Structure 1
Amino acid sequence: MTDQVMTDSDRREVRRVTEADYDDVMSIRSSVYDGYDYLPFQFKSLINHPDNEGYATILNGQFVAFCIISKVDGGETMVTRAGRVNKQFEGHGIFKALTSFIKQRQCNGTVCYHAFIADDTNQVILDAISRGELAVLMRKNTDFYKIEHNLRALTEKMDTPKYSRIMCPADMENVFQSNEACVHLFPETRIMCNLIPYRLKKSNIPLMFSDLTLIVGTNDSGWQLITCGTYYKCEKGHVYDLYVYGNSCFMSEHLIIHLKNILKYCHNRLEFLLHCNENQAQEFGTEMKKCQSIKVHGPWKSDYLVENKLK
């Protein structure tokens, strides 16, 4: 099928998306993000969240592009997420026009920065980075692991954590108030949680905790390790995104806590996406193998937190 040709007579509009638009948004494109598309699973909660706004481009009555933004950092930063454009209309500037519309709309308020996550297969973004048009705030190595075993049986064989536990908002506030902890854990002054980058601000803490996200911490004479895990279901099956901050000494304790949490959603055939610093990938990989996971080839090897100033 050839690409559609746009003409001056085409009727184009951009409007806010609601929960009722689910089917139209999903019809835009299938197999997005190599099958790791969390939008179908999280659409309702994302669209109805008070700090999120979803927008779609409609051409002659057909939904052809979509993007959702999350406002964080006290409203200073808009994070674009889950973007997609109908494959037949790629190369016509539709998605660029959509994001430009959103930026202009948000700049009339408190938003000063635009941030998003891109992986190393996005050549357009990599070229923009090399030209200095976008600033890279954080780069994480991404490794893919599969666990085919029964998770309940697996967790029963693992040692009970002694130094690590599920964190609460008060714990995260304690971390953010400690300059020593922040320098050790978050040298880039950002934390990725629930697939959103946050500045280390107290106002962000309530946004970081959700039903699908679990934050685990180790406080042994100071905060040593924090991991942020988010569950979703997609074309690939059950997926758990895990961002790691700190050293690997207590990683096995964190894994058992996250695995027990995952039992609420699935009992086997889980895929882990492990995001950590490149120089720590081997250490964390060793811990992943201890829980009988198998490293598999993934569609990308690293992801970037990118930001530009809007005003």
Structure 2
Amino acid sequence: MGDGELTIREAKHDDYAAVIKMASTDTFRDGFDYLPAKFRQYVDDPDVFFSVIESKDDLVVIYIAMLTDDGEALLLKTGRQNPIYHGTGTSRRNRQVLPRTFKDVLLPRCKPTTLLQTVAEGHRVKVRKLILEYVGFWGNDECNFDVMYFQSDVSTILSRLPSNNTTPLPPLTPYQPPDLNRLLPPAFSAAVLPEGRLLVDWDPYKLSESNLKKFVTAGCHILVDSTEPAAKSLSVGQSFITPRGRVYHIDIHCKDETLCKTHIINHVKNACSQYEGMITFCVMVIDKRLKETVLKYCVENLTLSHLPHDHTYSLYETDLTVMAKAAAGIKAKL
């Protein structure tokens, strides 16, 4: 499929080296880019749409979207632009290709009822304009959540954990399928989850047995408290290598300060039991009131270094009709 000098196609494993050049410490998410670790998984996954826009032999832009919740939702996951094309006027040409991407690549695989979703960083004005306004998300934000970065060496963490864990904390256990009976009631799902969504690696999912099973199979460390008849907290931990080294995500869903601390310390211990060297902990909380709790506990109690990369993200949702109209509008303007 061509558009003048720009051509769009599906990504291949041979694109890995070119994509890595887009994932340096200067180009995306402060260098903590997950794409190098997940590139081959995305290429092979039939539910992931990994589109590459190229000019002659140069990779210019990539876009990634994925079907989630058994096809009930389409998540516009991410995009990257080759740094050498910054400021060259290619953004306008890329937007010319977007409507065709939506029409020919994404829409044929979706149901009429498919929900369209994306997560955007509030401080990235250019991304907000491109994704939210041009694609039809503007004004449809569902929730906000905070992400904080902390770092330390495993040996340093282990040497300090015993003296900083003297206060009794509520017990947590690895998720088991019967726990779903305590997670589905409104006392947990409606009260704790934003719009009933579970955020894993900042991506929204329905809280369901099939999704939790998928996360466990993927190696996620899922913890839940033992409160009856309904749980009060749930967290998901996972790790991967980025251009800045190992990152361990801790996605916390709760409203209780003590439970929040308990989830953090359990995931930190889990990370230290598996890995060596420097680890960056990326802690996500949905309840804004817990942000200060996380900062204080990680720095003062766990003596982790707080990195200057904190961000606030927003979850946006709309429907395919809006997206189709927005795509047609883009084409008409260009």
| TM-score interval for Structure 1 and Structure 2 normalised by the shorter chain | 0.7 to 0.9
* 1:295 equivalenced with 2:302 (yes/no): no
Task: Check conservation: 1:65, 1:98, Cα contact below 8 A.
Answer: no
Q: Pick which of 190-199 and 92-101 moved more.
A: 92-101
The letter for the 2-side match of 1:267 is: E
Aligned counterparts, 1:151-170, within 5 A: 151-155=157-161, 158=165, 163-170=171-178
Distance in 1, matches of 2:85 and 2:7, equals: 15
Distance in 2, matches of 1:132 and 1:26, equals: 29
Cα distance 1:99–1:71, how it changes in 2: closer, same or farther (>3 A)? farther
* 1:110 equivalenced with 2:113 (yes/no): no
Using the size of structure 2 for normalisation, the TM-score is: 0.78
Q: Secondary structure at 1:239's aligned position in 2?
A: strand
Distance in 2, matches of 1:154 and 1:132, equals: 46
The alpha carbon displacement at 1:126 in A equals 4.5
Which of 127, 137, 141 is matched with 1:136 structurally?
141
Task: Check conservation: 1:15, 1:57, Cα contact below 8 A.
Answer: yes
Match of 2:248 in 1: 240
Distance in 2, matches of 1:135 and 1:307, equals: 6
Q: Pick which of 194-203 and 239-248 moved more.
A: 194-203
Match of 2:72 in 1: 76
The letter for the 1-side match of 2:99 is: S
Distance in 2, matches of 1:28 and 1:281, equals: 31
* 1:225 equivalenced with 2:243 (yes/no): no
Distance in 2, matches of 1:32 and 1:169, equals: 36
Tell me the alpha carbon deviations over residues 222-254 of structure 1, each in whole angstroms, 9 at most, x when there is no partner.
Answer: 311111222122122221222211122223332
Cα distance 1:63–1:152, how it changes in 2: closer, same or farther (>3 A)? same
Match of 1:55 in 2: 51
The letter for the 2-side match of 1:282 is: E
RMSD after superposition = 2.8
Query: What percent of counterpart residues are identical?
Result: 17
Task: Check conservation: 2:193, 2:253, Cα contact below 8 A.
Answer: yes
Using the size of structure 1 for normalisation, the TM-score is: 0.83
Cα distance 1:285–1:137, how it changes in 2: closer, same or farther (>3 A)? same
Task: Check conservation: 1:66, 1:85, Cα contact below 8 A.
Answer: yes
Match of 1:259 in 2: 268
The alpha carbon displacement at 1:66 in A equals 0.9
The alpha carbon displacement at 1:198 in A equals 0.9
Structure 2 runs not aligned, ≥5 long = 322-334
Higher helix share: 2
Task: Check conservation: 1:74, 1:203, Cα contact below 8 A.
Answer: no
Q: Secondary structure at 1:257's aligned position in 2?
A: helix
Task: Check conservation: 1:53, 1:69, Cα contact below 8 A.
Answer: yes
* 1:191 equivalenced with 2:193 (yes/no): no
Q: Pick which of 114-123 and 192-201 moved more.
A: 192-201
Distance in 2, matches of 1:149 and 1:67, equals: 35
Q: How many residues align?
A: 300
Match of 1:66 in 2: 62
* 1:124 equivalenced with 2:126 (yes/no): yes
The letter for the 1-side match of 2:15 is: D
Cα distance 1:228–1:176, how it changes in 2: closer, same or farther (>3 A)? same
* 1:15 equivalenced with 2:22 (yes/no): no
Structure 1 runs not aligned, ≥5 long = 1-7
Q: Secondary structure at 1:37's aligned position in 2?
A: coil
The letter for the 1-side match of 2:276 is: H
Task: Check conservation: 1:216, 1:228, Cα contact below 8 A.
Answer: yes
Q: Secondary structure at 1:108's aligned position in 2?
A: helix
Cα distance 1:35–1:58, how it changes in 2: closer, same or farther (>3 A)? same
The letter for the 2-side match of 1:124 is: K
Which of 297, 318, 324 is matched with 1:308 structurally?
318
